[in-house]
Amino acid sequence: MTNYVQFVDTAKSFGPVNVVRKTSLGLDRNSLVVFLGPSGCGKTTLMRMVGGLDEPSSGSILLGGEKVVRPDRRRGMVFQSYSSFPWLTVEKNIAFGMRYRKDLDAAQKAERIGHYLDLFGLADFAGSYPNRISGGMRQRVAIARTLAAGSDVLLMDEPFGALDALTRERLQVELRQIQIREEKTVIFVTHDVEEAVFLADRIILFSRRPASVVADIDVAAELGPDRPLEIRETQKFFELRNKVLHLIRNETGVVV
Amino acid sequence: MVEFAVSVAAAVLVVALWELAARAGIIAPQFLPSPSRVVVALWTMLTEQNLIWHVAVSTARVWIAFLLAAIMAIPIGIMMSSYRIVGAALEPIIDFIRYLPVPALVPLSIIWFGVGEETKIFLLWLGTFFQLVLLVADDMRRVPQEFVEVARTVGANSRQVMTDVALRWMGPTLLDNLRITLGWCWTYLIIAEIVAADSGIGYVIWTARRFVKTPEVMAGVVVIGLIGLVTDQLLRLLHRRLFRYL
């Protein structure tokens, strides 16, 4: 579905500070869209508005044609900080995503928990508390919990920003695979160009605050849907990465 | 185990130095009697002066006041940080009262409540509630926004965010704050029990002071300290049991 998530003349100010300029944009269903831009440019604010966690000052956001007015489980957030609940085990953290779902019975919930434990390689740690597992695993738990909730749209705010380079790479590969397999729409916020090019079907490049769209890059057309780790070493990847870097320098005036 | 041994050794060392200082005549016994004389006085108080009864009365007063303070402070503290308007209305008043010395309010409390149990409970409550309510409000403010937002995006309503996230997150610090303020509550005991009291450890200490029975005064103080130590350790144990995930 094209334009599954739609920004319709969406703008946002916090008091006198204009954070997001009037923006109109459509994002396709089951695609991974990266919001790329300098730190503090307003890209997170745009994403939070999709989540219903912030309200646009003017304009609106539509999901499947329906106006977003408050948070609900169709749009799940994954934060940079580890947001796994420390008092719940890995298994119970994932179960928390379905805690308020009345459409699933206990057996269905248990089945989904098992599915996501396996999908994210967490089965051996089901009974562990978050402080006993690595940062990468904690982020897997957070993503699994969001998926278990039944979120159709994943809103990811620099979720791998606090991880070491190797874990980060591994999770990027996993995220691509899971997004395709589970048919989810992902909005991924980052200021890391390489991460953006590797993950994205499409990159929306934002200016410095107040955010406005300065470029819309169709990465899928250049790199295709499959993203093995080795793609990072290809000429195509390099060229695209450099192109995005130049765009950032030219369009935003920021040296990355 | 090593830490426990060090704790015991440090306590033994302090008592031994105290005993030595007292026996060497460095400090006059009417000011600081030796630990052995305090132990003798303690035994006399236990066997001849019904000390257990006085301890029970004081413990009951402290716990009643403390529980009343906790029952009131927890919801009010949560409301203060959840609703800015409530915080704005209450925080200056609470800050004002919090800095008032409890002894200064003894005459007022006698005028308000007379010289019965109510005054004693009120004074103990006064020393605890206003401290605890601000600690609870601060704890509530520290609940990570991400946790709240995660809960909201998986469909939790405000009540569920409170019960399933905020209170769960606050649990460990809340119990710590309760443990600390219970200690403060005990420190107001003497003030509470000098107001026309005829029972309680405070009364025992105050009466002994009048007759310059310093060993009995010290024994009373030691009893309060021991009760504090045991209570604190029990609450720490409860903390470890309840919050195994820390």
User: Could you tell me the domains of chain B?
Assistant: 32-242 (1.10.3720.10)
Q: Is A131 on the interface with B (CB under 8 A)?
A: yes
User: Do residues A172 and A97 make contact, with C-beta atoms less than 8 angstroms apart?
Assistant: no
Say which DSSP state B171 is in.
H
10 Å Cβ neighbour count for B199?
Answer: 17
Q: pLDDT for A158-175, tens place per residue?
A: 999 888 888 889 899 999
CATH class of the domain whose range is A1-74+153-256: alpha beta
Q: Is A177 on the interface with B (CB under 8 A)?
A: no
Token couple for A253: 């005036």
Indicate the residue of A52, A53, A96 with minimum beta-carbon distance to B154. Answer: A96
Residue carrying structure tokens 């303070």: B69
pTM above 0.80, yes or no: yes
ipTM higher than 0.95?
no
CA distance A49 to A41: 15
Whether the per-residue pLDDT at B47 is higher than 70: the answer is yes
Mean pLDDT over B112-118 rounds to 90
Cβ pair A85:B147 closer than 8 A: yes
Q: pLDDT for B138-195, tens place per residue?
A: 999 999 999 999 999 998 999 999 999 999 999 999 999 999 999 999 999 888 998 7
Indicate the residue of A75, A85, A98 with minimum beta-carbon distance to B153. Answer: A75
User: What residue spans define the domains of chain A?
Assistant: 1-74+153-256, 84-151
A5-14/A58-63 β-pairing: antiparallel
Q: Is A51 on the interface with B (CB under 8 A)?
A: yes
Residues 6 or more apart whose Cβ sits within 8 Å of residue B162:
B78, B82
CA distance B138 to B87: 11
Indicate the residue of B146, B155, B164 with minimum beta-carbon distance to A79. Answer: B146
Token couple for A90: 């890995």
Q: pLDDT for A24-39, tens place per residue?
A: 999 999 999 999 988 8
